[in-house]
Amino acid sequence: MALVALLVLAALCTGLCVLIVSNEWLLGREKEHKQRQARRRLGVLGEVEQRQGLLAPALERMPFVGKRLKLKQKKRLAASFERDLPACLEVVALGMQAGMGFDQAFALYTERFRTPLARYCQESLAIWQKGLISREEGMRQLAERIATPSFRHFSSSVLRALRFGAPLTQLLMDLAQEARKEYRAKREELVAKAPVKMLLPTGALILPAMLLLVMGPIILDLIRKMG
């Protein structure tokens, strides 16, 4: 009896140790994932991301993988533009509310944020601040590069307000709320489509295993009776 109790105690201790180790491993993985996301938002790439960036040109030259990879990168970049646009509009609105001009408030966002949207805006802002093109042409070219409906609406609204001298602060705040609602609606739509996308792997992988589990004993019993 003492030996059995000792074995049970050892098994419980082993299970507890495995549970603690697995929990710590999961927490470490979650923390690493959050740090990677934070580095990606700030534009700081680690070694893995740098290797992926080096491998991207080689993958893009492949016939089928390259086209799919480019399409996936384009969708990911457009999603990041839509996600970061409300923050851009709010920063520009707050800067103009503090007494800055539009270009100064726009430059404030590009200097304080390190996102793809901020990088695109900084490149276009530098071009029209140097006098190479006008602000209207620069905003139109920027809207064509970003190519999202929300940014096109922002560009046309800003150009119209600057042309007629309309106040921009409240307009930008309203556009920020509208862009945030539109982005949230698209994310909710993707979440709603997830169960439909899971039907194919469920039917292809789980259903045969369940049929085999249910029908297996019956088939074996029939084979035994026939033999």
Which spans in 43-165 are helix H?
47-60, 63-97, 102-112, 116-129, 135-146, 149-164
Mean of pLDDT over the chain: 75
Q: Token digits for 14? A: 């082993």
Give me the amino acid identity at 42: L
Q: At what angle do helices 63-97 and 149-164 cross, to 10 degrees?
A: 30
Give dist(CA 145, CA 212) in Å, integer: 53
Express each pLDDT in 58-107 by its tens digit.
545 555 555 677 777 888 888 889 999 999 999 999 999 888 888 999 99
Whether this model's pTM surpasses 0.85: no
With a CB cutoff of 8 Å and minimum separation 6, the contacts of 46 are: 36, 39
Instruction: Check whether 204 has a pLDDT greater than 90.
Output: no
Q: Percent of the chain, pLDDT > 70?
A: 68
Q: Are 136 and 142 in contact (CB under 8 A)?
A: no
Q: What is the torsional sign of CA 27, 28, 34, 38?
A: positive
Express each pLDDT in 119-164 by its tens digit.
999 999 999 988 888 889 999 999 998 989 999 999 999 889 888 8
